[in-house]
Amino acid sequence: MKQTELQALLADMSLEEKIGQMVQLTGDFLGQEGIVTGPEGRIVVTPEQARLTGSILGVSGADKLRAIQEQVLAGQPHHIPMLFMLDVINGFKTIFPIPLAQGASFEPELAKRGAQIAAAEASAAGVHLTFAPMLDLVRDARWGRVMESPGEDPFLVGAFAEAMTKGFQGDKLSDKGKMAACLKHFAGYGYPEGGRDYDNVELSERTFRDAFLPGYRKAVEAGVAMAMTSFNTINRVPSSANRWLMRDVLRGEMGFDGVLISDYDAVGELVSHGIAADDREAAKLAILAGVDIDMMSPCYLNHLQELVESGEVEERLIDEAVMRILKLKNDLGLFENPFKDADEAEASRLILCDSFRREAREAAAKTFVLLKNEDAILPLSAAADETVLLSGPYCTERRICGAWSFPDTYDNIPNVLERVAEGLSGSALKAEYAPGCSVTLRGSILKDKPEEGMTHEETEKAIREAAEKAAGAGKVILFLGERFYQTGEGSSRTELSLPGMQMDLLRAVSSVNPNVITVVFSGRPLVMTEIEQLSKAVLMVWMPGTEGAGAIADVLLGKREPEGRLSMSLPFAAGQEPLYYNRFRSGRPRFSSEDIKGYKVGYIDIDYWPHHPFGYGLGYTEFTCSPVKLSADTLEAGGSITASVTVKNTGKRAGSETVQLYLRDAAGSVVRPVRELKGFTKVRLQPGECREVAFTITEEMLRFTRLDMRFASEPGDFEVFIGHDSLTENKAVFRLQA
């Protein structure tokens, strides 16, 4: 449709019909069961209202959605097609590692390719829009939804925001295999007090602008089609009622011109927040704030029409919202082809196809972070004539995709025991297996339902048997981890530890065999201190997705190297949270630019500094980095300088190094972070090979929200750090001229 045709369509629609486009329901209201991710609704929908509904969420399947679309087109007065939306977070059916793990790859192209594969599968299954990417900056590992974010750094989040948006959407939304993306959650949702999901967010406007907005901005610049309001408050105003945030910042300053949708019942929750007296007032606040679609609340459905008819809400606000919705449907090509790519045969051909599985396996290995590798115990030597004991609950666990993954079945997801046995076939290494324990004890209550694991007595026996086998083995590999739904929405935790009986298994096995390799599955940073003390090697594999088990076998056996670098800092204790590398300096004791580890503000019983910092990770070879060399000592406005180092592989096998660039403002009109990531690149080098790595530094990279609230740079000295992680002290100094 041309724009003039859309305008004519809008002009001919009744008010009731227009409001229907602004309502989103689950498929249940149209007689289709789907995935319900929020609280139970309190919505009563008449057949007439259902007929006018503009979009549904939580349903997939080409034939199912084609049937719904046919039903809608037959009953809708202007035959306006419906939008089908779904949470496709880190894959549709071929599931990639969780987004936090993808951030650890430091390869935005990996996330882009994962989004392309997800879009191809989901669009063939009839889905038009995904509620991704999640771009909330995360700095508190207690918050369960850290798993959905690329990490703790604004620059890293921004790079992945752009990559994922382009991966889902491509060059044109109507193209085959493409779907619309939705940035979420706008804004600041990732920093709730105490790490408690849905809780209040307290941020200064300066920190909010400099640290939390950049990721969202990158998605907007990449042309993201939709944005979602967050559950939290900003400056004590819930996002779905925050006119300044949505109209002034998102649309005015950032230039977002797409559709704005609330999160699940977030408009209705304005009443719970205490900012609206009832659903009617909630509807008024949300439309005035600029919310185009009310997801799963009765507020717009029951009250928007009377608000317009009473004169309390101008109808032009309705028209603006509906035009954005119609434009999105038009951009997807739904007026010409309301079924878009929905095709059962194509879905069957694409979903979990061999090539997608291979790519998921290759991607997973790039996200694994090797935290320790004493005596180079990894990779395992296939030539060694010894027995390796495999133990722990994640030997046989198939639920390794993350809490926001919805495979049709876990039966087609390989487990580690199968893949390691396959990898050892024909080698001199012999594998034995002992369960050791289950992920959690039977009867433990997680996510409001009892676990089905071993009893306490069964666990004690299984640990004894594992220890007996470990005593006679050359090496032991323990596969431990959180239950997959211990992270995700509503899964905040006060302890960042493994279940107790898993630690008992590790203690028992390490007491009889010093050669323990521990592989840890998780959706968040965990306290790893005791795990590292009792293990010669520790490999963090996150929730690695459909082909994660194969990738783990590849890395353990040396077919692939672990390439991941931490996208969130690992704490010594949960009490350190929130914890992040680019914090602010303090006046007492004085910060030493010569020794960043000397920054001791905080506690008397533990170091402030993380156990492992942002950007940290080992490989199977070693690298050196030359001193930083600058092309000039001064930077002129409008100009640039080059900072470079020479990286050398000093080990005995080929490997990849993630070279990271950090900048530090020596003095500003407001306190500045100790350093900020401003660039990164991966280099793959053969043994003995050297390569120069160069970064371009411009004045734009030095800008921040100054004391006068202008986003601009200030003249003065800047330090350039280039090295292996955020603790590097390899630096040079330049001056920005006025």
Instruction: Report pLDDT for 730.
Output: 98
Cα–Cα distance measured from residue 559 to residue 571, given in angstroms and rounded to the nearest whole number = 30
Out of 546, 561, 589, a domain closes at 546
Provide the pLDDT confidence category of residue 209 given band limits of 50, 70 and 90: very high
Work out the percent of the chain whose per-residue pLDDT is above 90: 88
Mean pLDDT to the nearest integer, 67-71:
94
Best CA proximity match to 544, nearest among 554, 558, 531: 554
Instruction: Report pLDDT for 8.
Output: 98
Instruction: Classify residue 259: in a domain, yes or no.
Output: yes
Whether residue 263 lies in the annotated active site: yes
Instruction: Classify residue 579: in a domain, yes or no.
Output: no
User: Which CATH number characterizes residue 469's domain?
Assistant: 3.40.50.1700
Cβ atoms 569, 152 nearer than 8 A: yes
Instruction: Classify residue 576: in a domain, yes or no.
Output: no
Do residue 290 and residue 394 come from a single domain?
Answer: no
Q: Is the pLDDT of residue 41 over 90?
A: no
Q: Is the pLDDT of residue 593 over 80?
A: no
Do residue 180 and residue 319 come from a single domain?
Answer: yes
Do residue 283 and residue 378 come from a single domain?
Answer: no
Instruction: Report pLDDT for 450.
Output: 67
User: Which CATH number characterizes residue 265's domain?
Assistant: 3.20.20.300
pLDDT digits (tens, 9 = 90+) for 722-731: 999 999 999 9
Provide the pLDDT confidence category of residue 590 given band limits of 50, 70 and 90: very low
Cα–Cα distance measured from residue 162 to residue 156, given in angstroms and rounded to the nearest whole number = 10
Mean pLDDT to the nearest integer, 92-115:
98
Mean pLDDT to the nearest integer, 120-139:
98
Instruction: Report pLDDT for 595.
Output: 47
Mean pLDDT to the nearest integer, 46-52:
87
Cα–Cα distance measured from residue 707 to residue 702, given in angstroms and rounded to the nearest whole number = 15
Out of 332, 347, 362, a domain closes at 347
Q: Is the pLDDT of residue 458 over 60?
A: yes
User: Which CATH number characterizes residue 665's domain?
Assistant: 2.60.40.10
Pick from 1-15, 342-356, 402-416: least confident = 402-416
Q: Is the pLDDT of residue 598 over 50?
A: no
Work out the percent of the chain whose per-residue pLDDT is above 70: 96
Q: Is the pLDDT of residue 604 over 80?
A: no
Do residue 443 and residue 528 come from a single domain?
Answer: yes
Do residue 183 and residue 329 come from a single domain?
Answer: yes
Q: Is the pLDDT of residue 45 over 70?
A: yes
Instruction: Classify residue 181: in a domain, yes or no.
Output: yes
Provide the pLDDT confidence category of residue 600 given band limits of 50, 70 and 90: low
Instruction: Report pLDDT for 441.
Output: 86
Do residue 325 and residue 414 come from a single domain?
Answer: no
> Which structural domain, as residue segments, surrounds residue 628?
616-736
Q: Is the pLDDT of residue 40 over 60?
A: no
Do residue 300 and residue 383 come from a single domain?
Answer: no
Mean pLDDT to the nearest integer, 333-362:
98
Do residue 343 and residue 378 come from a single domain?
Answer: no
Instruction: Classify residue 49: in a domain, yes or no.
Output: yes
Instruction: Classify residue 461: in a domain, yes or no.
Output: yes
pLDDT digits (tens, 9 = 90+) for 364-423: 999 999 999 999 999 998 777 899 999 999 999 999 999 999 998 999 999 999 999 999
pLDDT digits (tens, 9 = 90+) for 265-278: 999 999 999 999 99
- Please tell me whether the peptide bond between 128 and the residue prior to it is cis, using omega within 30 degrees of 0: no
602: left (phi over 0), alpha (psi -120 to 50) or beta: left
Buried b (16+ CB within 10 A) or exposed e, 587-622: eeeebebeebeebeeeeeeeeebbbbbbbbbbbbbe
Provide the pLDDT confidence category of residue 591 given band limits of 50, 70 and 90: very low
Best CA proximity match to 55, nearest among 311, 236, 259: 259
Q: Is the pLDDT of residue 436 over 80?
A: yes
Instruction: Report pLDDT for 601.
Output: 60
For residue 653, the Cα-to-chain-centroid distance in whole angstroms is 32
For residue 328, the Cα-to-chain-centroid distance in whole angstroms is 25
Best CA proximity match to 678, nearest among 636, 719, 639, 730: 719
Instruction: Classify residue 560: in a domain, yes or no.
Output: no
Instruction: Report pLDDT for 384.
Output: 77
Instruction: Report pLDDT for 602.
Output: 67
Do residue 487 and residue 629 come from a single domain?
Answer: no
Triad 697, 203, 150: Cα angle to 5°: 55
Do residue 434 and residue 498 come from a single domain?
Answer: yes
Do residue 443 and residue 512 come from a single domain?
Answer: yes
Number of domains in the chain: 3
pLDDT digits (tens, 9 = 90+) for 473-508: 999 999 999 998 899 999 999 999 999 999 999 999
Sign of CA pseudo-dihedral 125, 127, 132, 133 = positive
Out of 331, 347, 363, a domain closes at 347
Helix (H, G, I), strand (E, B) or coil at 15: helix
Do residue 321 and residue 445 come from a single domain?
Answer: no
Instruction: Report pLDDT for 594.
Output: 44
Cα–Cα distance measured from residue 194 to residue 201, given in angstroms and rounded to the nearest whole number = 10
Mean pLDDT to the nearest integer, 324-332:
98
Mean pLDDT to the nearest integer, 174-187:
98
Give the active site residue among 87, 140, 210, 263. 263
Mean pLDDT to the nearest integer, 616-642:
96
Beta bridge partners of 311: none
Instruction: Report pLDDT for 244.
Output: 98
Cα–Cα distance measured from residue 707 to residue 716, given in angstroms and rounded to the nearest whole number = 15
Cα–Cα distance measured from residue 291 to residue 246, given in angstroms and rounded to the nearest whole number = 8
Instruction: Report pLDDT for 592.
Output: 45
Best CA proximity match to 320, nearest among 10, 565, 595, 600: 10
pLDDT digits (tens, 9 = 90+) for 524-568: 999 999 999 999 999 999 999 999 999 999 999 999 999 999 999
Instruction: Report pLDDT for 466.
Output: 98
